[in-house]
Structure 1
Amino acid sequence: MTMNIGRMKVAELAFLLLSFLGASVSGKVFQTLSHLKPQHRDAVQSAAVQDLLYRLIGDRAAEFQVSVNSSLAAPDGLETYELRSVGVGKVAVVGSTGVAAATGCYNYLKYFCGCHISWSGVQLQVPSPLPRVPYTITVKTPNRFRYYQNVCTSSYSFVWWDWARWEKEIDWMALNGINMPLAFTGQEAIWQRVFLTLGLNQSEIDDFFTGPAFLAWGRMGNIHTFGGPLSANWMQKQLSLQNKIVERMRSLGMITVLPAFAGHIPQGLLRVFPKVNVTRLGGWANFNCTYSCSYLLDPEDPLFQKIGGLFMTEMIREFGTDHIYNADTFNEMTPTSSDPAYLSAVSTAIFKSMYNVDPGAIWLMQGWLFVNNPSFWKPEQIQALLLGAPIGKMIVLDLAAENSPIYQKTKSFYGQPFIWCMLHNFGGNHGLYGKVDTINTGPFEAMSFKESTMVGTGLTPEGIEQNDMIYELMNEIGWRSSPLNLTDWISGYSTRRYGQRNLNAVTAWQLLLTSVYNCTQDWKDHNHSPLVRRPSLRMNIDVCYNDSYLFKAWKYMYLAAPSLSKSSTFLYDLVDVTREVMQQLVTAYYLDIKTAYESEDLEKLMTAGGVLVYDLLSDFDDLLSSQPQFLLGKWLDDASKMAVTEKEASLYDMNARNQITLWGPTGNILDYANKQFGGLVQDYYAERWSLFLWCLIESLNTEIPFHQDKFNQAVSIVEKEFIYNGKKYSTTPTGDTLDIVKNIFIKYHPENVKDNNYLKLKMPYSYMKKHKFL
């Protein structure tokens, strides 16, 4: 190969030299990635952790002597913390970073004080004086990074957050040892500056951006326009919020991941640059080109580097940088060519646009595309995309490694560093689910894989604030060098979470651990209840666990209630387990409805359908409405609080309602982001089931077969009416949780039904058969 060095820019020459040398880069380079480190001085990080403790436990924070000493880090750069007692009733916590120190504080609070911190609540009964640490405890993490977030989390969970909620989340991250979070808030304001500089007008920019609840997929080039436009108020609020977010993250020693240019451009740029070389990708997820089919710049078009450079420069000017950037060009989008040369050119162009502005740039890429479209991404194509960036200059998120690990099929991503991630949740759905055995062993298997390039563990849920236990477990794994004893761990978890050891609660958690939390099937078999799906006569009702264990766990939670009724975390769990049981009851009634219709038994059809719609779902809605975390009103109210004008409030309300129901103008990803919210069950899901039941009864009465397409047309009217009806919902819980659960337990638990002929009459046949009443 020959090069005209005289005509090359210095940055381009350095980039090419780096590419040639990449293959021989020592494993130590990508293992440590040493230039990715906290920006703030030790004293600043120490103060940030101390402030965190004051937010958490008030004046008791003075009993902790927190310090950050970067020299404490292991020779290989791995984060470390130490715990020891000093004097009477005081504990010294020293960490090599703020995150390490915060993790040490939380582990002391957990394992010496019996405390617990989670999304659903906290239990902070800190003993006085503080328990003594018998000897100096030193803990070192086995991997460089603990990553957090999926690009979708920003829309499914964070979209309506204010600073107060973000502050709590960043505290949670630090306490749980997360040192590499995604920081995607506010980027649209930066993009608007770039697009205006390039000559676009405001209407063209408005047409490119989606509404707030769909920004994640606009950023990845999946969709545009839908749910928008974004107001100037939204832009400014999010920009201000992002500045607070990145400053707080960095003060705690975190390494923030900022966005980069992935190649997707607004249609308006074709007007400004009529000779630009672009390709148009296909529609995404049942969207047509009205809202999809994005334009992708050719990697060799000069505009690619110009746009990428402008965005990087402006973003770094606004937010600073920690030298790591995320870009996903083909997330759930099939490239127009499978030619390895083309795919390599795309990734080369993306990394070059980062490197030209920041020579220390590291590209973080989600590996979901390889799971989502394996028929396209064969070894040759994967290797071409990954090696378009120099070895060690890209980190790949093995995004769903607990279900579909890719590192095994790609020889550790052909030499690029990777992070073993637990995806776990899709769409922010409610539902008890997990794969504890895989989580407990998978990261260690990946570390010991031949020539492994693993550099960390990660949490990559699409939506959060559910299944606290799974995330607590995964966060602990990130700091361990070997698997846990799960039986012992879950017992301790129950005790910490509720502030006391309760044998019934511990038994319930043991049963949950071996059933709903130890699914062995692939993620595609994750339970999706008929409750939250548009009704039909052909619904998938499979679950990945033996639900008899669930009913037993429910009984033990019910028995624990009198002793734990003052615990907010217990009340949340009691509702969550009861919710899961009722979800299975919906399935049982659905089976009876289907069987009755197919056997033309009108009486049984009306009985099963009537109990489902007018009894079970009503009880279900009451249950959810009794706890703050399960309120539709809270989700909608958070959206409205982001608005300044009535027009904005109306748009945000539509965004919030649409995302959790139709997901698109015509149900394009119908029910994907379903939630089990109080208010939503009664006014949305029950309405759909009521119409379905009426249609089946009408079919038997008229002897005209049920037609799914006609039902879909009718029910879509009901679905759209919910989105635009403007009804207000309570933002505070209603009803007494314990009384509501007691009523449900008496009516539906198998042991109560078994000897009660009246209750038996209302129970579905499939339920009675499963529980051996027949």
Structure 2
Amino acid sequence: MEAVVVAAALGLLLLAAAGSSAGDEAREAAAVRELLARLLGPGPAASFSVSVERALAAESGLDTYRLSGGGPGAQVRVIGSTGVAAAAGLHRYLRDFCGCHVAWSGSQLRLPQPLPAVPEELTEATPNRYRYYQNVCTQSYSFVWWDWARWEQEIDWMALNGINLALAWSGQEAIWQRVYLALGLTQTEIDEFFTGPAFLAWGRMGNLHTWSGPLPRSWHLKQLYLQHRILDRMRSFGMIPVLPAFAGHVPKALTRVFPQISVTQMGSWGHFNCSYSCSFLLAPEDPLFPIVGSLFLRELTKEFGTDHIYGADTFNEMQPPSSEPSYLAAATAAVYQAMITVDPDAVWLLQGWLFQHQPQFWGPAQVGAVLGAVPRGRLLVLDLFAESQPVYVRTASFLGQPFIWCMLHNFGGNHGLFGALESVNQGPAAARLFPNSTMAGTGMAPEGIGQNEVVYALMAELGWRKDPVADLGTWVTSFAARRYGVSQGDAEAAWRLLLRSVYNCSGEGCTGHNRSPLVRRPSLQMATTVWYNQSDVFEAWRLLLKATPTLASSPAFRYDLVDITRQAVQELVSLYYEEARTAYLNKELVSLMRAGGILAYELLPALDKVLASDSHFLLGSWLEQARGVAVSEAEALFYEQNSRYQLTLWGPEGNILDYANKQLAGLVADYYTPRWRLFMEMLVESLVQGIPFQQHQFDQNVFQLEQTFVLGTRRYPSQPQGDTVDLAKKLFLKYYPRWVAGSL
């Protein structure tokens, strides 16, 4: 009986989303042909025939592609049931038949001539309805300063990786502004409510307000323009854009206009005080709730159209005001009712993070109240951190509501080699086989992108596989060959070492936070333990350098060489920090000065130079993106400060200090390095004077350095400088022998 209910719930979800495949077959095929021309150039693109035929998926109802043709004088024929399916089929051909590679850091697209033939017609259907992409936080950590050219690249990447469900949340503040003005708020009250651009994700989830705002008028206009282009391109591929909906959070100023409304002030969030958090939550039974919710959705869909799936998160990292199931059910039902008042076909996409983040609050009764308040099949839950802490297991497959098995992987957009590839590989298949499973898809939900591309390559591939990859060692070897465009034994051996070490995290401690001392405010209590053998990282570093005569011309290889050199230096920082701490505790002044001097005056400056040699690791590029959104110098300074705050202090007092840490040239030199120098100087001073180290005094002093960086206006290079290979070799030759000899 339960299996029947599960099937019915999934069927209802499919029915509700059936109208979301925007655009006809011809439009979607044209979109894929245009993608192909952007990717390969018009000449090579002419060697492919692309068409979209809905009938291809008639039997399964699931996205399907078919590959055939190729060989001397023959076109490669790609047919997809949707534009996304055709793009995924095209990517499959480029990857598996041509040895090509498409990635954020750059693509390797050397096509064999003639194009290889598909030996026999290949038909592939995805095992699930959805391949989802994004986290609400990705909008702020990675996308915030993007222009249309960068968005176009990303949507192409999404299509090639088979993504058919993705958030499209740009421009919503412009719509909210219209709604709030219609409800009687003043422009000043609205300006005081919105956060700055780099913190909008948390304003949207009700965690923050006001901080680092207000939003300029030009911001709203540009975001509206971007959103229209984003939606048009997503829909042209047959993707389903997820629009935002009203979750219940309102500006405090609404109580001035409607003094009788019932609101609850929530608790503080993220070490912010109520000047910036403690949002106001409209009571679900208040008559204004459906009015606000329907006003917003009506205005939003009038502006942008709809594909009938909406995202809203009422209790993200915030404890509800009551644990009573009746309250939680009412709060959930109110959000859903406001949706279906405007769109009877609405499906609610809910981030399941709340159940994972506060498991002590969300017991069976509380979880059941939320999941049961929406008809089965009309709530689509993202099991957001399933590769590490799956929620579907302890909620009986979300009590029959459809869910998407997601890999979160990265927090804050941190740099740092990290992954749980075995867990990622096995997880989706295990979820599909779970008793009475309501799994409706797979997803990638990183807080920040542009890192650890091997992890995302595997996850994207799993969206089209019914079974796990049989041998990850073989898979990662092929990944390296495609990435660099040639099979090179040393490089492939390096990747196998990384697979068994940094990419083999398992257990509860496997989170995508980079907690290296390098990127943390120094103290004597810093943890340096890692889940892998550091020797594997140093050996992989050696092997990549050994491969440079063959691979140095590959941009992807040079990027990886920077990345693993960065990781090796990160390991060295931990080791020299341990040496300095031990020396301090043993009152060995000379040893302290030696280790501290190497860390703060040799290692970090050398790291900054290596990072400066690659365009992907430049603070200048990061800040120029922010400045590029501005229409005046005053706006440029405002956006730049938003970006600097997010990378470092996060809040005015270091409220979520270093959460979004990055290892960027310029940031290492002018933010991390001064902190470490001050720390070592104060440790030395403590020993010389014979007084205990005062962490509180250090924190006060270092905050001045941190704030100086955030409020600074120094411009940083946005073009790479120096040769990656030479700089990495110098570092290697200096420190690798010491590592091997154990004489760091």
Q: Normalised by the shorter chain, which TM-score bucket?
A: over 0.9
Shift of residue 606, structure 1, vs aligned partner: 0.6
The equivalent of 2:418 in structure 1 is 433
Q: 1:641 maps to what in 2?
A: 628
Match for residue 491 of structure 2 among 496, 505, 510:
505
Mapped partners of 1:549, 1:753: distance in 2:
12
Answer yes or no: is the 8 Å Cα contact 2:171–2:223 preserved in 1.
yes
What is the letter of the counterpart of residue 68 of structure 1? V
User: By how many angstroms is 1:30 displaced?
Assistant: 3.6
Deviations 1:51-104 (A, max 9, x none): 000000012111100000011114231000000006823100000000000000
Distance in 1 separating the partners of 2:16 and 2:343: 15
Which of 439, 443, 447 is 1:458 aligned to?
443
Matched, 1:746 2:729: no
Could you give the per-residue CA deviations for residues 181-228 of structure 1, whole angstroms, max 9, x where no partner exists? 110111000000100110100111011100000000000010111111
- Say whether residues 1:479 and 2:464 are aligned partners: yes
The 3 A distance-change label for structure 1 pair 190 and 556 is same
1:188 aligns with 2:173: yes
Superposed CA offset, 1:659-692 (max 9, x none): 0100000000000000000111111101000000
Relative to 1, partners in 2 of residues 1:699 and 1:432: Cα closer, same or farther, differing over 3 Å?
same
Query: Contact 2:420/2:510 (CA < 8 Å) preserved in 1?
Result: no
Distance 1:715 1:624 in 2: 24
Alpha-carbon shift at residue 546 of structure 1 (Å): 1.2
Confirm whether residue 121 of structure 1 aligns to residue 106 of structure 2: yes
The aligned counterpart of 2:34 is 51
Other-structure match for 1:340: 325
Give the deviation of 1:707 after TM superposition: 1.3
Listed as ranges, the matches of 1:16-27 within 5 Å are 25=8, 27=10
**Cα separation, partners in 2 of 1:185 and 1:525, compared to 1, 3 Å:** closer
User: Is 1:139 equivalent to 2:124 in the alignment?
Assistant: yes
How far, CA to CA, are the matches of 1:435 and 1:689 in structure 2?
A: 31
**Equivalent residues in 2 for 1:205-224, closer than 5 Å:** 205-224=190-209
1:3 counterpart residue number: none
Aligned-residue offset at 1:521: 3.0
Q: CA deviation at 1:31?
A: 5.9
Counterpart among 63, 67, 71 of residue 83 in structure 1: 67
Preserved contact between residue 747 and residue 753 of structure 1 (Cα < 8 Å): no
> 1:593–1:609: 8 Å Cα contact kept in structure 2?
yes
Q: Which moved more, 1:273-282 or 1:516-525?
A: 516-525
State the percentage of identical aligned residues.
56
Partner of 1:41: 24
| SS, match of residue 82 in structure 1 | strand
8 Å Cα contact 1:525/1:543 also seen in 2: no
Between stretches 647-656 and 468-477, larger displacement belongs to 647-656
For the residue of structure 1 that corresponds to 2:405, the secondary structure is: strand
Q: Is the 8 A contact 2:388 2:510 kept in 1?
A: no
1:672 aligns with 2:659: yes
Q: CA RMSD in A?
A: 1.4
- The yes-or-no answer on 1:448 pairing with 2:433 is yes
**Distance in 1, Cα, partners of 2:218 & 2:325:** 44
* Residue 277 (str. 1) matches residue 262 (str. 2): yes
Distance 1:51 1:197 in 2: 41
- Contact 1:261 1:308 (8 Å CA) reproduced: yes
Q: Is the 8 A contact 2:16 2:347 kept in 1?
A: no
Tell me which of 146, 153, 161 is aligned to 1:176: 161
Counterpart-to-counterpart distance in 2, 1:86 and 1:644: 49
Residue in structure 1 matching 2:44, options 52, 60, 70: 60
Shift of 1:245: 0.1
Q: Does residue 653 of the first structure (1) align with residue 640 of the second (2)?
A: yes
Question: In 1, Cα distance between the equivalents of 2:637 and 2:272?
Answer: 23
From 580, 588, 594, the counterpart of 2:567? 580
The match for 1:517 is 503
Letter of the 1:299 partner, please give it.
P
Q: Is the 8 A contact 1:222 1:333 kept in 2?
A: yes
Partner-residue secondary structure (3-state), 1:374 = coil
User: For residues 187 and 662 of structure 1, what CA distance do their matches in structure 2 show?
Assistant: 26
Please list every run of 5 or more consecutive structure 1 residues that lacks an aligned counterpart in the other structure: 1-20, 765-774
Against the structure 1 CA distance between its residues 737 and 57, is the aligned structure 2 distance closer, same or farther, given a 3 Å change threshold? same
What residue is the counterpart of 1:241 in the other structure? 226
When residues 474 and 196 of structure 1 are mapped into structure 2, their CA distance, relative to the original with a 3 A threshold, is: same
Alpha-carbon distance between aligned partners in 1 of 2:558 and 2:454, rounded to the nearest angstrom: 15
| Counterpart for residue 56 of structure 2 | 72
Distance 1:602 1:326, change over 3 A: same
SS of corresponding position for 2:102? strand
Give the Cα separation in 2 of the matches to 1:324 and 1:407.
21
1:523, CA displacement in angstroms?
Answer: 4.5
Following TM superposition, by how much is the alpha carbon of 1:25 offset from its aligned partner in structure 2, in angstroms? 3.8
In 2, Cα distance between equivalents of 1:514 and 1:32: 43
Provide closer, same or farther for how the CA distance between residues 46 and 574 of structure 1 changes in structure 2, counting only shifts above 3 A: same
- Counterpart of 1:540 in structure 2 is 527
1:28 corresponds to: 11
Which residue of 588, 591, 595 corresponds with 2:582? Answer: 595
Residues of 2 paired with 1:565 and 1:550: CA distance?
A: 20
- Pick the aligned partner of 1:253 from 238, 249, 272: 238
Q: Deviations over 1:489-512 (max 9, x none)?
A: 111111110000000011001111
**C-alpha displacement of 1:702:** 1.1
2:283 aligns with 298
Asked if the contact 1:521/1:544 (under 8 Å) is kept, the reply is: no
1:684–1:719 CA contact under 8 A, matched in 2: yes
Normalization by structure 2: what TM-score?
A: 0.97
Cα distance change of structure 1 residues 23 and 390 upon mapping to structure 2, 3 Å threshold: farther
What one-letter code is carried by the residue in structure 2 that aligns with 1:341?
A: S
* Matched residue SS, 1:356: helix
Distance of 1:226 and 1:595 partners within structure 2: 40
Runs of at least 5 residues in structure 2 that lack an aligned partner in the other structure: none
Tell me the residue number matched to 1:490: 476
Kept in 2: contact 1:298–1:304 (CA 8 A)? yes
| CA contact 2:20–2:308 (8 Å) conserved in 1 | no
Pairs aligned (count): 737
- Output the amino acid matched with 2:438: T
Mapped partners of 2:58, 2:653: distance in 1:
55
* Distance in 1 of aligned mates of 2:704 and 2:287: 48
Query: Aligned partner of 1:43: which letter?
Result: A
Partner of 2:536: 549
1:101-152: CA deviations, max 9, x gaps? 0000011011111110000111010122211111100000000000000000
Cα distance in 2, alignment partners of residues 340 and 194 from structure 1: 31
Conservation of the 8 A alpha-carbon contact between 2:491 and 2:544? yes
Which amino acid is the alignment partner of residue 51 of structure 1? E
Deviation, 1:548, is 1.1
Among 588, 595, 612, the alignment partner of 1:625 is 612
Instruction: Give the CA deviation at 1:28.
Output: 3.3
Counterpart of 2:376 in structure 1 is 391
Please give the TM-score of this superposition, normalised by the length of structure 1: 0.94
**Superposed displacement of residue 544, structure 1:** 1.7
Deviations 1:226-263 (Å, cap 9, x if unpaired)? 11100110000001000000000000010010000000
What is the match of residue 401 of structure 1? 386
Cα distance, 1:29 vs. partner?
3.0
* Deviations, residues 270-295 of structure 1 (Å, cap 9, x unaligned): 00000001001000010000101000
Q: Say if 1:551 and 1:219 are closer, same or farther in 2 by CA, change over 3 A.
A: same
Contact 1:420 1:454 in 2 (8 A): yes
Match for 1:528 among 494, 515, 538? 515
Aligned partner letter, 2:48: F
**SS in structure 2 at match of 1:429:** coil
Contact 1:654 1:723 survives alignment (8 Å): yes
Alignment of 1:361-372 (within 5 A): 361-372=346-357
